[in-house]
Amino acid sequence: MPTFYGTEIASRMMLGTAQYPSPKVLADAFRRSGAGVATVSLRREASGGGNAGQQFWSLIQDLDVAILPNTAGCHSVREAVTTAQMARELFDTRWIKLEVIGHADTLQPDPFGLVEAARILTDEGFQVFPYCTEDLVLCDRLLEAGCEVLMPWGAPIGTGLGLNNIYGLRSLRAHFPDVPLVVDAGLGLPSQAAHAMELGYDAVLLNTAVAKAGDPAAMAEAFAGAVAAGAAGHAADPMPPRDMAAPSTPVLGKAFLE
């Protein structure tokens, strides 16, 4: 199982807590997914007044999983840092999923702001999980800033497009073999999660694909099975692809007719 900042997680699946049709559906989805981490937005927790926020927080605590607050929706370094500081006070954790959005349409991270915010938060004692692209230079700068985990996107948030840049994700895994890597955002189908794990990634994080499914709990269970299968496939050292056919049945000893 993956280890993040010295903490071993019980599952390779991380699940978001937004957009579910009801609290019961959210709880059922987590139960059937076996997810080891729940991401929580400070804005989501505080929405609807104090009583609604407290009810939501009680629900999250009842899930009995690790909590990863995030800075979702932040578009500047200052906003992200302030949100992270508030989240630490509220959730009593040093973990923070850092988002600094640079493009309103694609929700692509701002690479410059992301590195700056990561450095500030690391210096303040945070354990940063940066939502980033698969760019090798950016990821190297994030590691230099003190991050010990990288969370590259598969595709833009909420699109369900899967792994848009397999070459880039594979290269990232090869360049940083000892860094925990989590595919975060863009997964829409269990098969896409399995593919991420087959590439050697340590975990996946998703939200919309489960929360917006016709049956969120069933979809969560499907993703859990796919993640487990993909991880097992990678661990089994799969055969490399070939351009030419190769017979699976040996020809040695085969009968020939004249």
Indicate the SS3 state at residue 8: strand
Q: Which residues participate in the annotated binding site?
A: 158, 185-186, 207-208
212 tagged catalytic: no
Longest dimension (CA), the chain: 88
Q: Which two tokens stand for residue 83?
A: 């949100």
Helices (H) and strands (E) in the chain, counts: 10, 10
For residue 29, give the nearest of 10, 42, 11, 16 by alpha carbon.
Answer: 16
* Catalytic residue from among 24, 97, 212, 254: 97
Distance CA 201, CA 166 (A): 12
**Structure tokens, 254:** 């085969």
Give binding residues for 1-deoxy-D-xylulose 5-phosphate as ranges: 158, 185-186, 207-208
Residues annotated as catalytic (active site), given as ranges: 97
